[in-house]
Amino acid sequence: MGDVFAGRYELVDPLGEGGVGTVWRAWDHRQQAYCAAKVLRQVDATSLLRFIREQSLRLDHPHVLAPTGWAGEDDKVLFTLPIIRGGSVSTLVGDFGPLPPRLVALLLDQLLAALGAIHAEGLVHRDVKPANLLLDATGRQRPQLWLGDFGIAAGIDEPRLTQGPYALGTPGYLAPECLRRGWDPDPRADLYSAGMCAVEMLVGLRPDQDTDAVEALAQAELPHSLPPQLVDVVTRLAAPSLTARTQEAAAARRALAESQLCADQVPMEGILGEVEVFDHVPEFPAGWSARGPVDGRGAGSPAGAATPSGAPTPAVVSTAMPGRREAPTRPAPHAPVLSAAQPMARPTSPRQDPPRQDPPRQDPPRQDPPPQDPPRGRFSVQGRVRGLGIALGLILLGLLVLIATVWIVLT
Protein backbone atom coordinates (compact mmCIF):
# COMPACT_ATOMS: atom_id res chain seq x y z
CA MET A 1 0.00 0.00 0.00
CA GLY A 2 1.00 3.64 -0.22
CA ASP A 3 2.59 6.22 2.03
CA VAL A 4 0.47 7.68 4.83
CA PHE A 5 0.55 11.32 5.93
CA ALA A 6 -0.32 12.22 9.50
CA GLY A 7 -1.92 8.81 9.98
CA ARG A 8 -4.80 9.91 7.74
CA TYR A 9 -4.08 10.43 4.02
CA GLU A 10 -2.79 7.34 2.19
CA LEU A 11 -1.32 7.95 -1.29
CA VAL A 12 -2.80 5.52 -3.80
CA ASP A 13 -1.53 6.45 -7.29
CA PRO A 14 -0.31 9.62 -9.06
CA LEU A 15 -2.82 11.55 -11.17
CA GLY A 16 -0.63 14.32 -12.61
CA GLU A 17 2.06 16.92 -12.13
CA GLY A 18 1.42 20.47 -10.92
CA GLY A 19 3.59 23.56 -10.84
CA VAL A 20 5.12 22.82 -7.43
CA GLY A 21 4.22 19.21 -6.76
CA THR A 22 2.64 15.92 -7.73
CA VAL A 23 -1.11 15.31 -7.51
CA TRP A 24 -2.09 11.90 -6.10
CA ARG A 25 -5.29 10.03 -5.59
CA ALA A 26 -5.41 9.52 -1.82
CA TRP A 27 -7.60 7.64 0.63
CA ASP A 28 -8.79 9.64 3.63
CA HIS A 29 -8.96 7.12 6.47
CA ARG A 30 -10.95 9.53 8.63
CA GLN A 31 -13.64 10.33 6.07
CA GLN A 32 -13.41 6.90 4.37
CA ALA A 33 -13.37 8.57 0.97
CA TYR A 34 -11.00 9.36 -1.88
CA CYS A 35 -9.56 12.82 -2.45
CA ALA A 36 -6.82 14.44 -4.51
CA ALA A 37 -3.61 15.19 -2.59
CA LYS A 38 -1.00 17.62 -3.87
CA VAL A 39 2.42 16.79 -2.41
CA LEU A 40 5.08 19.49 -2.54
CA ARG A 41 8.30 18.48 -4.29
CA GLN A 42 10.52 20.39 -1.88
CA VAL A 43 10.11 22.30 1.35
CA ASP A 44 12.11 25.52 1.46
CA ALA A 45 11.18 29.02 2.59
CA THR A 46 9.68 30.09 -0.76
CA SER A 47 7.76 26.89 -1.51
CA LEU A 48 6.47 26.80 2.07
CA LEU A 49 5.15 30.36 1.78
CA ARG A 50 3.38 29.45 -1.46
CA PHE A 51 2.00 26.32 0.16
CA ILE A 52 0.59 28.43 3.02
CA ARG A 53 -1.02 30.80 0.54
CA GLU A 54 -2.55 28.04 -1.58
CA GLN A 55 -3.87 25.87 1.25
CA SER A 56 -5.26 28.93 3.04
CA LEU A 57 -7.62 29.66 0.12
CA ARG A 58 -11.09 28.91 1.43
CA LEU A 59 -13.32 30.36 -1.29
CA ASP A 60 -16.65 28.62 -1.76
CA HIS A 61 -17.42 29.10 -5.45
CA PRO A 62 -18.80 26.67 -8.06
CA HIS A 63 -15.85 27.31 -10.39
CA VAL A 64 -12.95 27.66 -7.90
CA LEU A 65 -11.13 24.48 -6.86
CA ALA A 66 -10.07 25.34 -3.30
CA PRO A 67 -8.14 23.07 -0.90
CA THR A 68 -10.17 21.17 1.68
CA GLY A 69 -7.40 20.27 4.16
CA TRP A 70 -3.67 19.79 4.65
CA ALA A 71 -1.16 17.65 6.52
CA GLY A 72 2.58 17.70 7.21
CA GLU A 73 4.94 14.98 8.29
CA ASP A 74 8.74 15.00 8.52
CA ASP A 75 10.04 16.93 5.49
CA LYS A 76 6.89 16.69 3.33
CA VAL A 77 3.60 18.55 3.24
CA LEU A 78 0.43 18.08 1.23
CA PHE A 79 -3.02 19.59 0.88
CA THR A 80 -6.17 17.90 -0.34
CA LEU A 81 -8.79 18.78 -2.93
CA PRO A 82 -11.79 17.10 -4.54
CA ILE A 83 -10.98 14.76 -7.44
CA ILE A 84 -11.98 16.33 -10.77
CA ARG A 85 -12.43 13.51 -13.26
CA GLY A 86 -12.79 15.13 -16.70
CA GLY A 87 -9.22 16.20 -17.35
CA SER A 88 -8.47 19.79 -18.32
CA VAL A 89 -9.27 22.19 -21.13
CA SER A 90 -5.79 21.42 -22.44
CA THR A 91 -6.63 17.72 -22.80
CA LEU A 92 -10.01 18.62 -24.33
CA VAL A 93 -8.33 20.71 -27.05
CA GLY A 94 -5.79 17.92 -27.55
CA ASP A 95 -8.61 15.41 -28.05
CA PHE A 96 -10.90 17.45 -30.31
CA GLY A 97 -8.85 20.32 -31.76
CA PRO A 98 -10.63 23.68 -32.17
CA LEU A 99 -13.72 23.74 -29.97
CA PRO A 100 -17.16 24.98 -31.08
CA PRO A 101 -17.56 28.74 -30.47
CA ARG A 102 -20.60 28.31 -28.23
CA LEU A 103 -18.67 25.86 -26.04
CA VAL A 104 -15.75 28.29 -25.87
CA ALA A 105 -18.13 31.05 -24.82
CA LEU A 106 -19.58 28.85 -22.07
CA LEU A 107 -16.18 27.79 -20.71
CA LEU A 108 -14.86 31.35 -20.90
CA ASP A 109 -17.88 32.62 -18.99
CA GLN A 110 -17.28 30.09 -16.20
CA LEU A 111 -13.58 31.01 -16.07
CA LEU A 112 -14.43 34.70 -15.84
CA ALA A 113 -16.87 33.94 -13.00
CA ALA A 114 -14.04 32.24 -11.09
CA LEU A 115 -11.63 35.11 -11.75
CA GLY A 116 -14.19 37.66 -10.66
CA ALA A 117 -14.59 35.80 -7.36
CA ILE A 118 -10.87 35.55 -6.55
CA HIS A 119 -10.20 39.14 -7.67
CA ALA A 120 -12.94 40.30 -5.31
CA GLU A 121 -10.95 38.58 -2.54
CA GLY A 122 -7.83 40.57 -3.49
CA LEU A 123 -6.08 37.59 -5.10
CA VAL A 124 -4.35 37.29 -8.48
CA HIS A 125 -3.94 33.77 -9.87
CA ARG A 126 -0.91 34.51 -12.13
CA ASP A 127 -0.97 31.14 -13.90
CA VAL A 128 -4.28 30.94 -15.78
CA LYS A 129 -3.79 28.43 -18.61
CA PRO A 130 -5.79 25.54 -20.13
CA ALA A 131 -3.90 22.94 -18.06
CA ASN A 132 -5.20 24.63 -14.87
CA LEU A 133 -8.81 24.70 -16.09
CA LEU A 134 -10.21 21.38 -14.91
CA LEU A 135 -13.46 19.78 -16.05
CA ASP A 136 -15.98 17.46 -14.49
CA ALA A 137 -16.58 14.29 -16.52
CA THR A 138 -19.97 15.49 -17.77
CA GLY A 139 -20.00 13.55 -21.05
CA ARG A 140 -22.60 15.19 -23.27
CA GLN A 141 -24.14 17.21 -20.46
CA ARG A 142 -23.47 20.86 -19.62
CA PRO A 143 -19.71 21.29 -18.93
CA GLN A 144 -18.46 22.34 -15.51
CA LEU A 145 -15.11 24.18 -15.31
CA TRP A 146 -12.89 24.59 -12.24
CA LEU A 147 -10.02 27.03 -11.89
CA GLY A 148 -7.26 25.27 -9.94
CA ASP A 149 -3.56 25.36 -9.02
CA PHE A 150 -3.08 28.49 -6.91
CA GLY A 151 0.56 27.64 -6.25
CA ILE A 152 1.93 31.00 -7.43
CA ALA A 153 -1.13 33.12 -6.66
CA ALA A 154 -0.46 36.36 -4.81
CA GLY A 155 -2.44 39.03 -3.06
CA ILE A 156 -2.69 42.39 -4.76
CA ASP A 157 -1.04 44.12 -1.79
CA GLU A 158 1.20 41.23 -0.67
CA PRO A 159 4.99 41.12 -1.15
CA ARG A 160 6.45 39.21 -4.07
CA LEU A 161 8.35 36.00 -3.36
CA THR A 162 10.87 36.63 -6.15
CA GLN A 163 13.36 39.45 -6.49
CA GLY A 164 14.69 41.01 -9.67
CA PRO A 165 13.41 40.72 -13.25
CA TYR A 166 11.63 37.41 -12.83
CA ALA A 167 8.20 36.61 -14.26
CA LEU A 168 6.04 33.89 -12.76
CA GLY A 169 3.57 32.23 -15.08
CA THR A 170 3.54 30.33 -18.37
CA PRO A 171 4.81 31.92 -21.61
CA GLY A 172 2.05 32.33 -24.15
CA TYR A 173 -0.52 33.19 -21.47
CA LEU A 174 1.62 35.74 -19.63
CA ALA A 175 0.55 39.37 -20.03
CA PRO A 176 3.27 41.60 -21.57
CA GLU A 177 3.46 43.85 -18.51
CA CYS A 178 4.39 40.84 -16.33
CA LEU A 179 7.79 40.77 -18.06
CA ARG A 180 8.67 44.29 -16.92
CA ARG A 181 10.92 44.78 -13.95
CA GLY A 182 9.07 45.69 -10.78
CA TRP A 183 5.64 44.54 -11.97
CA ASP A 184 3.18 43.96 -9.14
CA PRO A 185 0.29 41.46 -9.28
CA ASP A 186 -2.67 42.94 -11.15
CA PRO A 187 -6.05 41.25 -11.85
CA ARG A 188 -5.93 42.48 -15.46
CA ALA A 189 -3.01 40.11 -16.10
CA ASP A 190 -5.36 37.20 -15.31
CA LEU A 191 -7.88 38.59 -17.82
CA TYR A 192 -5.18 38.61 -20.52
CA SER A 193 -4.43 34.96 -19.71
CA ALA A 194 -8.14 34.12 -19.94
CA GLY A 195 -8.28 35.72 -23.38
CA MET A 196 -5.30 33.68 -24.58
CA CYS A 197 -6.92 30.52 -23.22
CA ALA A 198 -9.96 31.34 -25.35
CA VAL A 199 -7.71 31.86 -28.39
CA GLU A 200 -6.25 28.36 -27.89
CA MET A 201 -9.72 26.85 -27.51
CA LEU A 202 -10.90 28.52 -30.72
CA VAL A 203 -7.90 27.78 -32.98
CA GLY A 204 -6.69 24.55 -31.37
CA LEU A 205 -3.07 25.72 -31.11
CA ARG A 206 -1.07 26.78 -28.09
CA PRO A 207 0.00 30.44 -28.26
CA ASP A 208 3.54 31.64 -27.69
CA GLN A 209 4.65 34.85 -26.00
CA ASP A 210 4.55 36.81 -29.29
CA THR A 211 1.09 35.63 -30.39
CA ASP A 212 -1.35 38.42 -31.15
CA ALA A 213 -4.95 37.42 -30.52
CA VAL A 214 -6.39 39.48 -33.39
CA GLU A 215 -4.00 37.97 -35.94
CA ALA A 216 -4.34 34.43 -34.58
CA LEU A 217 -8.13 34.47 -34.89
CA ALA A 218 -8.11 36.20 -38.31
CA GLN A 219 -5.59 33.80 -39.86
CA ALA A 220 -6.89 30.54 -38.39
CA GLU A 221 -8.41 28.01 -40.80
CA LEU A 222 -11.39 26.69 -38.84
CA PRO A 223 -14.24 24.30 -39.63
CA HIS A 224 -16.74 26.91 -38.45
CA SER A 225 -17.01 30.69 -38.58
CA LEU A 226 -16.37 32.71 -35.45
CA PRO A 227 -19.19 34.92 -34.11
CA PRO A 228 -18.09 38.57 -34.18
CA GLN A 229 -19.35 39.12 -30.61
CA LEU A 230 -17.13 36.34 -29.29
CA VAL A 231 -14.11 37.58 -31.27
CA ASP A 232 -14.63 41.05 -29.80
CA VAL A 233 -14.79 39.74 -26.22
CA VAL A 234 -11.68 37.58 -26.66
CA THR A 235 -9.54 40.20 -28.37
CA ARG A 236 -10.42 42.82 -25.76
CA LEU A 237 -9.43 40.42 -22.99
CA ALA A 238 -6.15 39.58 -24.73
CA ALA A 239 -5.24 43.14 -25.67
CA PRO A 240 -1.49 43.72 -25.08
CA SER A 241 -2.16 47.26 -23.84
CA LEU A 242 -3.49 47.61 -20.31
CA THR A 243 -5.64 50.58 -21.26
CA ALA A 244 -7.21 48.78 -24.23
CA ARG A 245 -7.84 45.59 -22.24
CA THR A 246 -11.08 44.72 -20.50
CA GLN A 247 -10.69 45.99 -16.95
CA GLU A 248 -12.95 43.61 -15.02
CA ALA A 249 -14.17 40.06 -15.45
CA ALA A 250 -17.77 41.19 -14.91
CA ALA A 251 -17.61 43.45 -17.99
CA ALA A 252 -16.54 40.56 -20.22
CA ARG A 253 -19.27 38.37 -18.76
CA ARG A 254 -21.89 41.00 -19.56
CA ALA A 255 -20.68 41.11 -23.17
CA LEU A 256 -20.91 37.32 -23.42
CA ALA A 257 -24.43 37.37 -21.97
CA GLU A 258 -25.50 39.93 -24.57
CA SER A 259 -24.20 37.68 -27.36
CA GLN A 260 -26.64 34.90 -26.33
CA LEU A 261 -24.04 32.34 -27.42
CA CYS A 262 -24.40 30.17 -24.32
CA ALA A 263 -27.87 31.10 -23.16
CA ASP A 264 -29.79 28.51 -21.16
CA GLN A 265 -32.28 28.00 -23.96
CA VAL A 266 -29.57 26.84 -26.37
CA PRO A 267 -29.65 22.99 -26.49
CA MET A 268 -26.50 21.13 -25.45
CA GLU A 269 -26.08 19.68 -28.93
CA GLY A 270 -25.76 23.19 -30.28
CA ILE A 271 -23.11 24.05 -27.66
CA LEU A 272 -21.02 20.86 -27.61
CA GLY A 273 -21.10 19.90 -31.27
CA GLU A 274 -19.10 16.65 -31.42
CA VAL A 275 -17.29 17.27 -28.12
CA GLU A 276 -17.67 14.94 -25.15
CA VAL A 277 -15.92 15.38 -21.79
CA PHE A 278 -14.62 11.91 -20.89
CA ASP A 279 -13.55 10.52 -17.51
CA HIS A 280 -9.74 10.77 -17.39
CA VAL A 281 -9.11 9.29 -13.93
CA PRO A 282 -7.39 5.89 -14.31
CA GLU A 283 -8.73 2.62 -12.94
CA PHE A 284 -7.93 1.75 -9.33
CA PRO A 285 -4.55 0.06 -8.84
CA ALA A 286 -4.24 -3.42 -7.38
CA GLY A 287 -5.45 -3.60 -3.79
CA TRP A 288 -7.95 -0.74 -4.15
CA SER A 289 -11.59 -0.41 -5.12
CA ALA A 290 -14.27 2.27 -5.20
CA ARG A 291 -14.88 1.58 -1.51
CA GLY A 292 -11.25 1.92 -0.48
CA PRO A 293 -8.59 -0.66 0.39
CA VAL A 294 -9.58 -4.18 -0.63
CA ASP A 295 -10.45 -6.34 2.42
CA GLY A 296 -9.79 -3.37 4.71
CA ARG A 297 -6.05 -3.53 4.08
CA GLY A 298 -3.88 -0.45 3.90
CA ALA A 299 -0.93 1.21 5.52
CA GLY A 300 -3.33 3.42 7.42
CA SER A 301 -5.11 0.50 9.11
CA PRO A 302 -5.15 0.63 12.92
CA ALA A 303 -2.06 -0.66 14.66
CA GLY A 304 -2.22 -4.33 15.38
CA ALA A 305 -4.44 -5.14 12.38
CA ALA A 306 -3.56 -8.46 10.83
CA THR A 307 -1.56 -8.53 7.61
CA PRO A 308 -2.67 -11.14 5.05
CA SER A 309 -0.44 -14.21 5.02
CA GLY A 310 2.45 -13.82 2.63
CA ALA A 311 1.76 -10.14 1.94
CA PRO A 312 4.83 -7.91 2.15
CA THR A 313 5.00 -5.20 4.78
CA PRO A 314 4.05 -1.93 3.03
CA ALA A 315 6.88 0.52 2.62
CA VAL A 316 6.41 4.01 4.02
CA VAL A 317 8.71 6.29 2.08
CA SER A 318 7.51 9.83 2.57
CA THR A 319 6.95 9.40 6.31
CA ALA A 320 10.49 8.21 7.02
CA MET A 321 12.89 10.50 8.81
CA PRO A 322 15.65 11.86 6.54
CA GLY A 323 18.76 9.73 6.76
CA ARG A 324 17.08 6.91 8.73
CA ARG A 325 17.66 3.41 7.32
CA GLU A 326 15.15 0.68 8.06
CA ALA A 327 16.13 -2.99 8.18
CA PRO A 328 13.93 -5.24 6.02
CA THR A 329 12.52 -7.07 9.05
CA ARG A 330 11.94 -4.00 11.21
CA PRO A 331 8.28 -3.48 12.12
CA ALA A 332 6.22 -0.67 10.66
CA PRO A 333 6.67 2.79 12.28
CA HIS A 334 3.42 2.51 14.24
CA ALA A 335 4.32 -0.94 15.67
CA PRO A 336 5.91 -1.17 19.15
CA VAL A 337 9.68 -1.49 19.13
CA LEU A 338 9.74 -3.97 22.01
CA SER A 339 7.51 -6.97 22.61
CA ALA A 340 7.43 -9.94 24.96
CA ALA A 341 8.37 -12.26 22.11
CA GLN A 342 11.28 -10.10 20.91
CA PRO A 343 13.14 -8.52 23.86
CA MET A 344 15.95 -6.16 22.99
CA ALA A 345 19.37 -7.81 23.49
CA ARG A 346 21.68 -5.91 25.85
CA PRO A 347 24.98 -5.01 24.19
CA THR A 348 28.08 -6.35 25.86
CA SER A 349 29.96 -3.46 27.45
CA PRO A 350 33.55 -3.23 28.73
CA ARG A 351 32.22 -3.27 32.30
CA GLN A 352 30.71 -6.73 31.86
CA ASP A 353 33.94 -8.28 30.61
CA PRO A 354 36.79 -5.84 31.31
CA PRO A 355 40.39 -6.82 30.63
CA ARG A 356 41.32 -5.66 34.13
CA GLN A 357 39.45 -7.28 37.01
CA ASP A 358 38.17 -5.09 39.79
CA PRO A 359 37.39 -7.36 42.77
CA PRO A 360 35.46 -4.81 44.86
CA ARG A 361 33.01 -4.14 41.97
CA GLN A 362 32.75 -7.73 40.80
CA ASP A 363 32.14 -9.23 44.23
CA PRO A 364 30.55 -6.61 46.49
CA PRO A 365 29.31 -7.52 49.97
CA ARG A 366 25.75 -6.99 48.86
CA GLN A 367 24.65 -8.95 45.80
CA ASP A 368 22.51 -6.99 43.42
CA PRO A 369 20.10 -8.90 41.19
CA PRO A 370 21.35 -9.33 37.64
CA PRO A 371 20.17 -6.72 35.15
CA GLN A 372 16.90 -7.58 33.50
CA ASP A 373 15.48 -6.80 30.08
CA PRO A 374 13.49 -3.58 29.98
CA PRO A 375 9.94 -4.18 31.12
CA ARG A 376 7.20 -4.21 28.52
CA GLY A 377 5.93 -0.81 27.57
CA ARG A 378 9.31 0.93 28.19
CA PHE A 379 10.99 2.44 25.14
CA SER A 380 14.34 1.05 23.94
CA VAL A 381 17.31 3.22 23.02
CA GLN A 382 16.41 2.87 19.37
CA GLY A 383 12.84 3.84 20.13
CA ARG A 384 13.96 6.93 22.03
CA VAL A 385 16.25 8.00 19.19
CA ARG A 386 13.46 7.43 16.68
CA GLY A 387 10.98 9.39 18.76
CA LEU A 388 13.48 12.22 19.21
CA GLY A 389 14.07 12.34 15.47
CA ILE A 390 10.35 12.51 14.71
CA ALA A 391 9.88 15.24 17.32
CA LEU A 392 12.77 17.28 15.89
CA GLY A 393 11.33 16.94 12.38
CA LEU A 394 7.93 18.20 13.50
CA ILE A 395 9.54 21.07 15.43
CA LEU A 396 11.56 22.13 12.36
CA LEU A 397 8.44 22.05 10.19
CA GLY A 398 6.58 24.15 12.76
CA LEU A 399 9.43 26.66 12.91
CA LEU A 400 9.40 27.01 9.12
CA VAL A 401 5.67 27.69 9.14
CA LEU A 402 6.09 30.22 11.99
CA ILE A 403 8.97 32.01 10.26
CA ALA A 404 7.04 32.15 6.99
CA THR A 405 3.94 33.54 8.71
CA VAL A 406 5.90 36.19 10.65
CA TRP A 407 7.70 37.19 7.46
CA ILE A 408 4.42 37.70 5.62
CA VAL A 409 2.98 39.76 8.50
CA LEU A 410 6.06 41.96 8.94
CA THR A 411 6.51 42.66 5.25
Contact present, 15 and 35 (Cβ < 8 Å) = no
Q: Give tens-digit pLDDT for 213-260.
A: 999 999 999 988 999 999 999 999 999 999 999 999 999 999 999 999
Q: Give tens-digit pLDDT for 57-69.
A: 667 899 999 888 8
The CA-to-CA distance between both ends of the chain, in Å, stands at 43
Beta-carbon neighbour count of residue 120 at 10 Å? 14
Residues 130 and 144 in one domain: yes
Average pLDDT of the segment spanning 177-190: 87
Residues 184 and 104 in one domain: yes
Contact present, 299 and 316 (Cβ < 8 Å) = yes
Residues 120 and 177 in one domain: yes
Q: Following DSSP, what letter does each residue of 319-345 receive, concatenated?
A: TSPTT----TTSPPTTS-S--SSSPPP
Residues 76 and 93 in one domain: no
Contact present, 156 and 295 (Cβ < 8 Å) = no
3-state helix, strand, coil in the chain (%, to 5): 30, 15, 55
* Integer Cα distance of 24 and 38 in angstroms: 6
* Integer Cα distance of 50 and 48 in angstroms: 5
Select from 251, 272, 293 the last residue of a domain: 272
Residues 386 and 245 in one domain: no
- Predicted TM-score (pTM) of this structure: 0.70
**Domain of 399, in residue numbers:** 1-83+380-411
Average pLDDT, the chain: 77
Residue 358 lies in a domain: no
Residues 133 and 236 in one domain: yes
Q: Residues near 254 by Cβ (< 8 Å), separated by ≥ 6?
A: none
Q: Give tens-digit pLDDT for 126-149.
A: 999 999 999 999 999 999 999 998
Select from 272, 291, 307 the last residue of a domain: 272
Q: Provide the domain count of the chain.
A: 2
